[in-house]
Structure 1
Amino acid sequence: MRTAVIAGSLDEHALELARRLHGRGWSLVLDTADADAAADTDTAGVLGTPVGAPVTALAGDIRDGSHQMALVEAARDLGGLDLLVSSAGIRPPVALCDPPPDAFRRMLDVTVLAPLGLLRTALPLLRESRGAVAAVSPHSAAEPGGPLDGYSAVKAALDRLAAEIAIEEPLVRVWTVDSDGRAQAPALLELLEHGAPSGHYDTAEVLRSAQAGRADTASPAGLTDGTSASVPGADRGARKARARGSAGLSRAKFSLPGALKANVPPEEHGVDRGDVRLLVGRKASGEVTHHHFSELPRLLRPLDVLVVNTSATAPPKVDGRAGSEAVTIRFSTRLDDGRWVVELSSADGGTPVDTCAPGTVVAVDDDTRVRLVLDHRLEPGSNRLWLAHFLASGPSTDRLRHRGRPFHGDVGTCHPLTAQQTVFADATEVASGAPAHQSAELPSAARPFTDHLVTAVVTRGVVIAPIELHTRPSPGAPSQPPGPELFAVPPATAQLINNARACGGRVVAVGTTAVRALESAADQGGTVRAARGWTDLVIGPQRTIQTVSGLLTGLHEAEASHLRLLEALAGTELLTACYAEARVEHYRWGEFGDVNLLLPD
């Protein structure tokens, strides 16, 4: 049984929501300033629903911390808290600069500080249930002007606070909702039903999107997508790209706040790895829309080809010692002649080791019997990347599997190797732990996929085609292109892609590694051939991408070389619009963050 607290104005719209929730078996805690109303509502008679789940109504001043605590404790007594709805507010018909004495202070207390205090009190229960918060405002507060200027201003402050809380509390969904009254109850039920992510929603748009989603549940081939309907109605749900006349990528346009970097997997917050948001940009229309990743099957079409990288992530990070200095060694790629590309850094993994030079001998894993000789630098003027060989037979597979640690970006923390694998990773490679033909870093665009979602994609009629590209450590600077990497395109994948393109179908790559592998295997006319070898291909706007028409990718740093590839595929205009939306809507970036789907139409 689920429990909701409905706080603030217990008007007809709040009561309608209460009736609908109670009719679905929810327990309720209702806040009211009227003791008589509390006595009536406590019997559930005023709700007009059969007596069933408990209904508790508490009278008090929402500004009072003890009343806020009483509401939360009442929910705890009913088993927990799954939904907190706050619509508290005072709307004096006065201009912002000319309120009666203390009127603005009271409006601020009731409209902003009281809901914030109630939310802070309720957070432990909401975290435990992975619950949701809805801060409801009338449409009249959404735009400045007229007699409600002061109310608009303080409601905007509440919206901004809610957006910040959504970032700080990834286990809780925080919705700011513009309501036209009558649509409030059904729209909130839609958000609940579809597990809408944190964001700003308009009730009318929610209902329109939900209706459109129900009308579009069947594909032309009669297949259903196997997932829930779209997360409906974000108020920025569909916008046209605005970057007209842009001459190229600008760092400012693609800067993402450091506070929004996703440094830990969603699983460490107690949610599914696929519980991320999906930003979709369509090149033909310039439209940018917001979704949950679970909607991906519905956004693809039957007979689309989804190209995935099956490279497993190796545990390539081991301890070592260069003379008297403790170091960290990252094994990247074993070349055909048996030598290795390695990255050498200080023991904390932070900085290159300045004392090393060609010929330096490094003891691997503090074992003097296993020694690594540095042959020469791979980056001019830097001691970071080396080509090296072993004096003995090299580290055994077991040593690297059991003693190696997975590498994670620049955070300085390690996560379980399972968190660094995708669902498409070759199971035999994952089990072996042998890094010779694995990736030094996670092909992260595919990370949100789960077995369930893959099933939904296949049920949709989408064809999944594998390639391999085994990544090296990221370059020292984000703007540096990747070094040579081993790739393979199987004959069946080449045939699937060529057939799809010949029939006018869409080929959607999962990650930039898939694009680089396919482009490396294509001839001058764009026909993909079965191929295996090394590629140092760098793709940018000056090079036409011939093999794919769409791309699922992460959100990248402003200086990242990946952005040049994205620009070549989607164009500067659409890419700029996507990143503008990502900033406004507080998308998380990095390998554990949200993802971006770029489609031709």
Structure 2
Amino acid sequence: MWLSDFDFTLPEELIAQAPAARRDASRLLSVERRTGSITSRQFIDIVDSFCPGDVLVVNDTQVIPARLFANKISGGQVEVLLVRKCPEPAGGEDWLCMTRSSKPLAAGTRLIFDKRLSAEVLQAGDDSLRHIRFDGQGDFWQIIDEIGHLPLPPYIKRADTLTDRSRYQTVFAREKGAVAAPTAGLHFTSEILEQIRAKGVEICHLTLHVGPGTFLPVRVEDVRHHKMHAEYYSIPVATAQTINQARACGGRVFAVGTTVTRALETAAGEEGLLKAGDGDSDIFIIPGYRFKIVDALITNFHLPKSTLLMLVSAFAGRELMLRAYDQAVGEKYRFFSYGDCMLIL
């Protein structure tokens, strides 16, 4: 499979730069794998797609204001992106971070964020990540919340705002740790979730902390040689039990987003049973993959040549998916994180 197999033409004006007026005001492109039908709807119509006994699985990760700005002792400016928390040290907060500065940061470099927070670069790591230890006077998360910025995706060509603090976050977010939102979940409101429950659908959660790897381009022509960045996930016992019971009784598993899909498929046994627990997911799903857990996928529209487009192509078939994307472009759907939604049945 070649990278060019997952390309399509996207007019720049279709890349959503801000959220819709309401979470549930987005459009929904419904794709039926069995028949190949593609239908334009509104997101609020998604409730009609559920049946009693189905399960809806959401990702409860919470986006943190992970983009920080500091100065070196010498005065040079540094941009720091919190990527992943390290095991708790004695007396500080240790993180793997991506950094941007005029010169590479050497071990021992001191960083000053404000009078309450400083840090030291301990060592460089794999994939340009650096191990940084933060030392603060006060609650770390409170300081980060005050001085940090939400790391909006690179295709959103503006600075983050107060509106993004709520809208680039799902209504079910509760576990801090993501540097990007699980964007398929942004469309859901508490009211829609209650309507889905009222149809006899179980709603359960897992956690996958979305990392910056979701935005990194594929740099190999033969996509089979691409290596995914690992992301932490956790699946509660109750979630695994609910999903396994539903599947045994003929219920369908609806995954809200590619993050949920990757977590579920990572934790799936060959026999099709979901295993509770936590770990790292670096699964790379491309056409030819046999899905073990997920029966229906709710997802946003993804970048050309991206690993996420490859995943949905594996789920629905590449030809059908590219035809759906072509229709979405023709009907001027809004694309990417703040864009419209797709339901693949």
Fold-level match, TM-score > 0.5?
yes
Aligned-partner Cα distance in 1 for 2:280–2:183: 21
Q: SS of the counterpart of 1:500? A: helix
1:591 maps onto 2:334 in alignment: no
Alpha-carbon displacement from aligned partner over 1:384-420 (angstroms, at most 9, x marks no partner): x423131646971211111111111122410331122
Give the conservation status (yes or no) of the 8 Å contact 2:99–2:130.
no
Structure-2 change in CA distance of 1:463 and 1:250 (3 Å): farther
Partner of 1:43: none
Among 302, 315, 326, the alignment partner of 2:65 is 315
1:254 maps onto 2:8 in alignment: yes
Structure-2 change in CA distance of 1:409 and 1:525 (3 Å): same
More helix by share: 1
1:425 maps onto 2:173 in alignment: yes
Give the conservation status (yes or no) of the 8 Å contact 1:253–1:579.
no
Among 95, 103, 109, the alignment partner of 1:340 is 95
Aligned-partner Cα distance in 1 for 2:108–2:201: 52
Percent identity of equivalent pairs:
30
Partner of 1:408: 152
TM-score by length of 2: 0.88
Shift of 1:360: 5.4
Among 214, 221, 236, the alignment partner of 1:490 is 236
Among 384, 390, 412, the alignment partner of 2:133 is 390
Partner of 2:221: none
Give the conservation status (yes or no) of the 8 Å contact 1:304–1:506.
yes
Give the conservation status (yes or no) of the 8 Å contact 2:6–2:310.
no
Give the conservation status (yes or no) of the 8 Å contact 2:270–2:292.
no
Higher RCO (C-alpha 8 Å, min separation 6): 2
Aligned-partner Cα distance in 1 for 2:188–2:200: 17
Q: SS of the counterpart of 2:304? A: coil
Partner of 2:222: none
The aligned amino acid for 2:337 is E
Larger radius of gyration: 1
Aligned-partner Cα distance in 2 for 1:565–1:408: 22
Give the conservation status (yes or no) of the 8 Å contact 1:263–1:590.
no
Q: SS of the counterpart of 1:438? A: strand
Aligned-partner Cα distance in 2 for 1:303–1:369: 50
The alignment of Structure 1 onto Structure 2 pairs a total of residues equal to 328
Structure-2 change in CA distance of 1:262 and 1:585 (3 Å): same
Q: SS of the counterpart of 2:246? A: helix
Aligned-partner Cα distance in 2 for 1:576–1:248: 15
Structure-2 change in CA distance of 1:481 and 1:579 (3 Å): farther
Q: SS of the counterpart of 1:565? A: helix
1:287 maps onto 2:41 in alignment: no
Alpha-carbon displacement from aligned partner over 1:9-51 (angstroms, at most 9, x marks no partner): xxxxxxxxxxxxxxxxxxxxxxxxxxxxxxxxxxxxxxxxxxx
Alpha-carbon displacement from aligned partner over 1:103-149 (angstroms, at most 9, x marks no partner): xxxxxxxxxxxxxxxxxxxxxxxxxxxxxxxxxxxxxxxxxxxxxxx
1:265 maps onto 2:19 in alignment: yes
Once the two structures are superposed, the pairs formed by residues 183-198 of structure 1 within 5 Å of their partners are none
Q: Which runs of 5+ in 2 are unaligned?
A: 219-225
Aligned-partner Cα distance in 2 for 1:577–1:292: 19
Cα-Cα RMSD: 2.3
Aligned-partner Cα distance in 1 for 2:251–2:158: 43
Among 571, 582, 599, the alignment partner of 2:328 is 582
Aligned-partner Cα distance in 1 for 2:279–2:104: 31
Alpha-carbon displacement from aligned partner over 1:335-380 (angstroms, at most 9, x marks no partner): 22653121223xxxxxxx350144152414144961230511432x
Once the two structures are superposed, the pairs formed by residues 66-85 of structure 1 within 5 Å of their partners are none
Aligned-partner Cα distance in 1 for 2:43–2:11: 22
Structure-2 change in CA distance of 1:590 and 1:364 (3 Å): farther
More strand by share: 2
